[in-house]
Structure 1
Amino acid sequence: MEILAPAGSKESFLAAIKAGADSVYVGLKEFNARQSAPNLDYHDLAVLTDYAHSRKVKVYFVLNILIKHDEMNDAVRLLSRVSKTGVDAVIVQDLGLARIVKDYFPGLRLHASTQLACHNSSGAKALAGLGFRRVVLARELTLSEIRLITASSKSIEYEIFVHGALCFSISGMCLFSSLMSGNSGNRGRCAQPCRRLWRGKKNAGYLFSPKDLELIDHLEKLGRTGVSSLKIEGRMRSSEYVFRAVSQYKTGRKTEDLGRRKTACLFSGRDEKLFEPEKEQCLGVKIGEFPHFKARAGDRVRVVDPKTDRSCVFKYGVEKPDLTGFKKGDPVYLSGSRDFEGDSLAKELDAIYAAYRSKASPAGIPANQYTSLVARVWPKPAPQKERLWFRIKDPAWLELLPPENLIFAVDQTNLRHLPAAATVELPPFIAERELGDYRRIRADGYVLNNISHFGIVPASAAKIAGPFLYAWNAYAARALKDLGVEKFFASWEDDSSNIQRLKFPLIVTLFGRPVIARSRMLTREHDYGTVRSEETGVELDQSMEGELSVLVGKIPVMLFDAKERLKSAGVNEFCVDLSRIKPDGRFLAELLAACENGRNFGNSCAFNFRRGVK
């Protein structure tokens, strides 16, 4: 099995190769899911790819974020330039960019990012059909699920994370950071609110901060799963961490990697100590509490304020940091050993760069040639009558709503209560063992929220792309249209500027309480109820839906006052999402009056619609 290592810096790139990695994955400063990492520039990528290939190490380039419509030209120009370096594959989330790679860069292997949320065999088969050669499976899968998925189709390679940070939410479905600050995890700018302090009805602490993944003890089992690649997370971590982590999997011997405490997550059964809310999950080995700790001169030490997440890293006995503001008892961690030969990496890099000679490279695609994919696909429609959809989960709403334009959002809690006539919305996460439950549903139309849904619903059924089957640009919409999608929900976290540039059939949700995170990691024992951020005061409702824990914004999103502006941009279909609202005739009347009059009421927010999403 391939050992795939993170390279968030030049030093980490070289450390991975020296430790024995078979391949590395790397991003530049734009369009990747680790915008806060040092990353490389184009010259670095050219030099280090050449060096890696001389050592028979592959290089995978990451472009694994959602791309706004007006950004696609820059993304394709970057891809065209990067393709000349000889990288071995590109890791992608955006289905529009994937379509462009497939059609215009046939020499580049397409790898499906874990951000595409592939968690069942139906998703893997759908991605293979779109031209992906490899898929990075979701981190939350069990060993038996991985075996079932890999056995289902040999037309695509499988890659899994075996080491490094875990996200509380299923990747690709998390709006947590976006709601809190406008910094979208789907765009590489996650501010990690799950690592902060939260207070629930019974508990307080690091309620959503899991330990780090480590599967070193399961290599023999992994070897029998059909998985091709073992991936180590850590593009924002040090070169020493990368060297230590890669060395573990190369030798099969467990060592200290200076990361967080470890878990196998759900791989071999539920870890009851996956979360330890009373303990901060900081990187490094705890060596004391400020101001008393033990370190050697030259060791890298991190002092952390758990309440604000502020930290200070310095070389003990060499540098004199400003530790003003840290309090007695704040934890202190060893984040790097003086024994690690970081200086020798720098010298070796200097030699590699000095020896590099640029090579002739093939030309990229002609500028804007790819735009033919969306030219005249959606001609300007004749003026249409305004249409208002209603999304519900509770069948009691059926007594209060008109029978037309109903979307019934199903999950494991309400599958037995499907109304006779409604468009059925499938949940973003469907476990392998649940596929049969959803395949038995029969409806005239479906709202799809994951790539796997194309293998679940009848091919002839009317299809709408839901808010989690992202179409942030016309190229993603074209890729989905070719799969039978007729209309597209705007993403909850998208902003006004981008939405108004999308000239394909849109449905914009004007009211609702979006699910901002879905997690397999919490159980019914983690009954937090309403949780409150001790840093910002933001409140969220935590509850269980089947075996998933969901976080929902306490304050609803309301955009009734933007309806006329959206109509002037060509949007004439809207939605009122009642799926998180208790059936109430009076409240419904108030909502409908507000929608009709274009006015908001009560306590509400606009998510990123006005402030923009970064």
Structure 2
Amino acid sequence: MPLTTFSPELLAPAGDMSRLDAVLRYGADAVYLGGTEMNLRAGAAGFTPEALGTALAKARRCGARVYCCVNALPYEHQLETVRATLERLAQPFSCNQQTLEPHWRDDTLPDTTENSIDGLIIADPGVLRMARRIAPHIPVHMSTQANTANSESAAFWRDMGASRLNLARELGAADIRAIMRAVPDVEYETFVHGAMCLAVSGRCLLSAWMNDRPANLGQCTHPCRFDYRTAGLAASDAEPDHAGIELDVEERTRAGAPAWTVTQDSGWSHIWSPHDLCLVRYLRWFAVQGVAALKIEGRMKTAGYAAQVVDVYRTAVDDLAAGRFRPALYMRELCNTATRPLSSGFFLPRGRRRTWQAASSGHRLPLVARTGRRLSAGSWEMAVLAPWQCDRPVEILVPGLKRPLLQPQHCRVENHRGETARQVHPGTSAILHCDHPDLAPGLFLRACT
């Protein structure tokens, strides 16, 4: 019996075409991406009009939707760039199917197809006003940067023409429920996984102040993730090579009660770095409330990271519909992908907050390769992602959290010189000779314990 009758949309990041392919392959219902301007991820190349046409064609092939970010907070001199961006996004994008890899083509469609984006993700009220004038036919989704944290703000954005609101990550379960009940005639989405920001909904000035790279224009250098230590501490006393020191920090008005714990590794500390958000255990709650979309952060993360996280959340959402739930399995997979501790964030009351430790670098199972084209029966083009010991078993990351093993005695790896290899190196290509029935284009292979 289903654990819920409502299935939220799973919304995944697509920082480039490789990442888009990965999240679609592992089950995203929708993707969010940016063009080459004003998309709050200046470090990502973004999608040109031609690439966006290809992305839309691939998404339609999978029955997925595409939302385009125009969520930077522009200055006056950037308004013409915003206008030009919106005018281009208001038009359909074409794609010639013959330019797609064979497994993305749809023989039932004409060679050239045209598709339009399904929504604009916007943060600035001025950009919203321009979008309603230039592209009134495209739904507007308010970004987390809009910091929608109460029902009056939700009603305001609804009245201004927004059809979906991304609620602030600083909200707890009670606040989310209250806002949705007070303003029910609009869709809501919430972040359920990924990086959290030191500032309110990402509106941070650290990067601009320290490095002249404004986060609100998509140029954040993430100084909150840097390592710090007390500059005046003598080297002989600091023990810079001593790892694993934890220091409880008190606040002046609450002396005697630790406000937080600073962890030091190799003499340096992450003073400002928040944990990563992880709400997979609470997906049934979101479904029961009727949250329209569950959003995963990570347009700057690797395709492999995005694929693994999407696989977990896709499986968890499908499990709810199938009447089962396997939180231990989900957390084991997510802790393997994480590089920082995972946390329930602000979702639970302070006294009930949960934290899970990421797998240490020595125990993390790396992705060693990704399948490309099928060259012939039982032969696959492979992109090597990490040192691959070909005489050891690896597991195929099959969507649905299925992890069948490839045993070395049943396959052969050929390096770029055409030689049978015992090891291949990252950044090179290889050919995998194996007739395992679960192999398919776009799947990742992972080392085993």
Aligned to 2:88: 81
Aligned to 1:192: 222
Contact between 1:5 and 1:233, CA under 8 Å: does it hold in 2? Answer: yes
Aligned to 1:251: 315
| 1:83 Cα deviation after fit | 2.3
Contact between 1:208 and 1:275, CA under 8 Å: does it hold in 2? Answer: no
Contact between 2:87 and 2:134, CA under 8 Å: does it hold in 1? Answer: no
Equivalent residues in 2 for 1:580-599, closer than 5 Å: none
| 1:81 Cα deviation after fit | 1.4
1:265 aligned to 321, 326, 345, which one?
345
Pick closer, same or farther for the CA change 1:77–1:170 going to 2, 3 Å: same
Aligned to 1:229: 293
Contact between 1:160 and 1:227, CA under 8 Å: does it hold in 2? Answer: yes
Aligned to 2:164: 134
For the residues of structure 2 that align with 1:186 and 1:23, how far apart are their CA atoms? 24
| 1:96 Cα deviation after fit | 1.2
Confirm or deny that 1:51 pairs with 2:58.
yes
Equivalent residues in 2 for 1:138-537, closer than 5 Å: 138-199=168-229, 205-252=269-316, 253=326, 254=330, 255-257=332-334, 258-259=337-338, 260-270=340-350, 285-288=359-362, 298=368, 315-316=386-387, 318-319=424-425, 344-345=441-442
| 1:8 Cα deviation after fit | 0.6
For the residues of structure 1 that align with 2:203 and 2:314, how far apart are their CA atoms? 32
For the residues of structure 1 that align with 2:163 and 2:184, how far apart are their CA atoms? 10
Aligned to 1:440: none
Aligned to 1:115: 145
For the residues of structure 2 that align with 1:133 and 1:141, how far apart are their CA atoms? 20
Pick closer, same or farther for the CA change 1:320–1:143 going to 2, 3 Å: closer
Deviations 1:333-388, CA, capped at 9 Å, x for gaps: xxxxxx9x999339xxxxxxxxxxxxxxxxxxxxxxxxxxxxxxxxxxxxxxxxxx
For the residues of structure 2 that align with 1:267 and 1:224, how far apart are their CA atoms? 15
| 1:157 Cα deviation after fit | 1.0
For the residues of structure 1 that align with 2:88 and 2:439, how far apart are their CA atoms? 31
Instruction: Provide the secondary structure at the position in 2 that maps to 1:287.
Output: coil
Pick closer, same or farther for the CA change 1:318–1:39 going to 2, 3 Å: farther
| 1:18 Cα deviation after fit | 1.7
**Normalising by structure 2, what TM-score?**
0.62
Contact between 1:88 and 1:109, CA under 8 Å: does it hold in 2? Answer: yes
Instruction: Provide the secondary structure at the position in 2 that maps to 1:242.
Output: helix
Aligned to 1:2: 9
Paired letter, 2:186 = I
For the residues of structure 2 that align with 1:296 and 1:151, how far apart are their CA atoms? 43
Instruction: Provide the secondary structure at the position in 2 that maps to 1:245.
Output: helix
| 1:39 Cα deviation after fit | 2.8
Pick closer, same or farther for the CA change 1:296–1:70 going to 2, 3 Å: closer
For the residues of structure 2 that align with 1:271 and 1:207, how far apart are their CA atoms? 22
Paired letter, 1:122 = E
For the residues of structure 2 that align with 1:296 and 1:73, how far apart are their CA atoms? 44
Paired letter, 1:235 = R
| 1:296 Cα deviation after fit | 7.7
Pick closer, same or farther for the CA change 1:318–1:343 going to 2, 3 Å: farther
Bigger Rg, which one: 1
| 1:234 Cα deviation after fit | 0.8
Contact between 1:157 and 1:228, CA under 8 Å: does it hold in 2? Answer: yes
Deviations 1:216-239, CA, capped at 9 Å, x for gaps: 111111112231110011101111
Aligned to 2:112: none
Contact between 1:116 and 1:172, CA under 8 Å: does it hold in 2? Answer: no
Pick closer, same or farther for the CA change 1:342–1:211 going to 2, 3 Å: farther
Aligned to 2:132: 102
Pick closer, same or farther for the CA change 1:55–1:320 going to 2, 3 Å: closer
Contact between 2:86 and 2:134, CA under 8 Å: does it hold in 1? Answer: no
Instruction: Provide the secondary structure at the position in 1 that maps to 2:272.
Output: coil
For the residues of structure 1 that align with 2:208 and 2:284, how far apart are their CA atoms? 39
Identity of aligned residues (%): 32
1:21 aligned to 17, 21, 28, which one?
28
Deviations 1:228-256, CA, capped at 9 Å, x for gaps: 11001110111122222112122115152
Contact between 2:20 and 2:31, CA under 8 Å: does it hold in 1? Answer: yes
Pick closer, same or farther for the CA change 1:43–1:345 going to 2, 3 Å: farther
For the residues of structure 1 that align with 2:292 and 2:228, how far apart are their CA atoms? 39
Deviations 1:381-437, CA, capped at 9 Å, x for gaps: xxxxxxxxxxxxxxxxxxxxxxxxxxxxxxxxxxxxxxxxxxxxxxxxxxxxxxxxx
Paired letter, 1:226 = G
For the residues of structure 1 that align with 2:222 and 2:367, how far apart are their CA atoms? 32
Q: What is the number of equivalent residue pairs in this alignment?
A: 306
For the residues of structure 2 that align with 1:343 and 1:131, how far apart are their CA atoms? 43
For the residues of structure 2 that align with 1:164 and 1:247, how far apart are their CA atoms? 14
Instruction: Provide the secondary structure at the position in 1 that maps to 2:24.
Output: helix
Instruction: Provide the secondary structure at the position in 2 that maps to 1:315.
Output: coil
Paired letter, 2:184 = K
| 1:314 Cα deviation after fit | 6.7
- Superposition CA RMSD, Å: 3.1
Deviations 1:477-498, CA, capped at 9 Å, x for gaps: xxxxxxxxxxxxxxxxxxxxxx
Instruction: Provide the secondary structure at the position in 2 that maps to 1:158.
Output: strand
| 1:295 Cα deviation after fit | 7.4
Paired letter, 1:236 = M
| 1:172 Cα deviation after fit | 4.7
Pick closer, same or farther for the CA change 1:11–1:269 going to 2, 3 Å: same
Which aligned segments of 4 or more residues in structure 1 are displaced greater than 4 angstroms?
Answer: 199-204, 271-276, 293-297
Structure 1: where are the runs of 5+ without partners? 301-312, 322-338, 347-614
